[in-house]
Amino acid sequence: MPRTSTRARTSTRLTFVVLATGAGVFSMLQSLIAPALPTVQHAMNTSQSTATWVMTAYLLSASIFTPILGRVGDLIGKKRTLVAVLVALTLGCLLAALAPTIGVLILARVVQGIGGALFPLSFGIIRDEFAAAEVSPSISNLSAVIAAGGGVGIVAAGPIVSALDYRWLFWLPVGIVAVTALIALRFIPESPSRAKGRVNWLGAALLSGWLVALLLPLSQATNWGWTSARVIGLFTAAVVLFALWLLAEARSRSPLIDLRIMRLPAVWTTNLAGLLFGAGMYAIWSFLPAFVQTPSSAGYGFGASVTTAGLLMLPMLVAMFLSGVLSGRLEPVLGAKKLLTAGAALGAIACGFLAVWHDRPWQVALVAGVFGFGIGLAFASMANLIVGSVPAEQTGAATGMNANIRTIGGSIGAAVTSVLVTSHLQPSGLPYGSGYTNGFSLLALLLLGAALASLLVPVTRRARTPGMAITSAEASHVERQAVTPSARS
């Protein structure tokens, strides 16, 4: 029933602020440490390959916990799970700020990765607690915060490290997330929608296994070698574990990820677009700052400092937030499918221009702004498409898998781009400019693929209030039509 009282409106506003703060901080932590890795390496007297585990551990942990805890929230209550995740994120930041060794810092990043579950839990709480007309705009606004959070990390890392110390990259979130957890415990109501069943721990173990076996070699192949026994062995293990996971989930009475939901036309097409879009987005976040920091003596780049590189990414950050908010206003008029297509197309155009048009800092800043506008549209649209296509009790698991699929795409995109950029090096050890040109061209093709995939997303007819998600019964009907086409005969 729609909320109409002033108290209810105040409650939903506070709920949104809590969700946006937690999800925004986690998103910021994804990218905040990347520009500071050389500083961490020097401060802890470790090797570059070891320092990269600060990023790898976070990636693997988030990939594992995001869908699993999203499902746990569907089963035992989203508020309860949300508070527990916020507490874990607080402890992870505190441990990282105090870490005396690189090993402890890597462990802290594993704990922080639990915070990945904030995304699906937040989307689920919005669907459960907000009035129907507020769902789509609120999801779009939250997606804008999540997208912008990654940009904030890139922009803020340099000034924080320069003015304070890399440990303040973790000290600052400690207090924010701790207060957010207390407010969530006190004011966010427990969601009434609960899935039936229990956690399928066999499915969780197999899911964790194939994700680690896939993402670990993708992130470490540059150091280990693409043809090394470790990389080939892990990829083989990923295929086997993935097949076993599909079998276990199909046979389970209480699957961790309901494969029937994953086969819904709106879900699998959105996930395909998310995979390709993630490949382009995360690779740009990784390689564009490196490009502008390259000394101009290499024949390209501007020799920018970490802080200056962050400022060149500022247009991307602003555009991400504005377009994400705008998406919530446009979605009832244009539909999430068109906005997703437009977002991916803008990303493809930006990368295409970047491949041939990167001689001046203002050119990079302008292209970054166009790319950011596409990110904001795409993030919000993907979330709305998933939430509007699955039963309420499956929201956490479905949105968690969508976030995971974007991460998998990002790992693939970053790994392949790294091969193109670093395959041929100058005598100075720096990549040739043609490597970046080829890399940006590839990303343009991947994002074009995302735009084409989004055209496959079926248009959902909305007979009620704009922004209102379909009910569990309607989703079940769509599911039956998708899974058993013979029923239509």
171, with CB counted inside 10 A (0-12, 13-18, 19+), is: middle
Terminus-to-terminus CA distance in the chain, angstroms? 36
- Write down the CATH superfamily of domain 10-199+254-488: MFS general substrate transporter like domains (1.20.1250.20)
What is the reported pLDDT for 4? 41
> What is the spatial distance between Cα 155 and Cα 213, in angstroms, rounded to a whole number?
32
pLDDT at 239 (0 to 100)? 96
Cβ count near 110 (within 10 Å): 18
From the list 217, 232, 242, the residue with the least C-alpha distance to 416 is: 217
pLDDT number for residue 392: 79
Q: How do the pLDDT tens digits run along the chain, 489 residues long?
A: 444 444 454 488 899 999 999 999 998 888 888 778 888 888 898 887 788 888 888 888 988 898 889 888 888 889 999 999 999 999 999 999 999 999 999 999 999 999 999 989 998 999 888 888 888 889 888 988 888 887 788 788 888 888 888 899 999 999 999 999 999 999 888 877 777 777 788 988 999 999 999 988 988 888 888 899 999 999 999 999 999 999 999 888 888 888 888 899 999 999 999 999 999 988 888 788 889 989 998 889 899 887 888 888 889 888 988 898 888 888 888 889 999 999 999 999 999 999 999 999 999 999 999 999 999 899 889 988 998 888 877 888 888 888 889 888 888 888 888 888 887 888 888 889 999 999 999 999 999 999 999 999 997 654 333 333 433 333 333 333 333 333 333
Domain positions in the chain = 10-199+254-488, 200-253
pLDDT at 52: 80
Question: What is the torsional sign of CA 424, 429, 431, 432?
Answer: negative
DSSP output for 4-48: -SHHHHHHHHHHHHHHHHHHHHHHHHHHHSGGGHHHHHHHTT--H
pTM over 0.85: no
The pLDDT value recorded for residue 474 is 36
Helix (H) / strand (E) element for 260: namely helix 259-262
**Cα separation of 113 and 92, whole Å?**
8
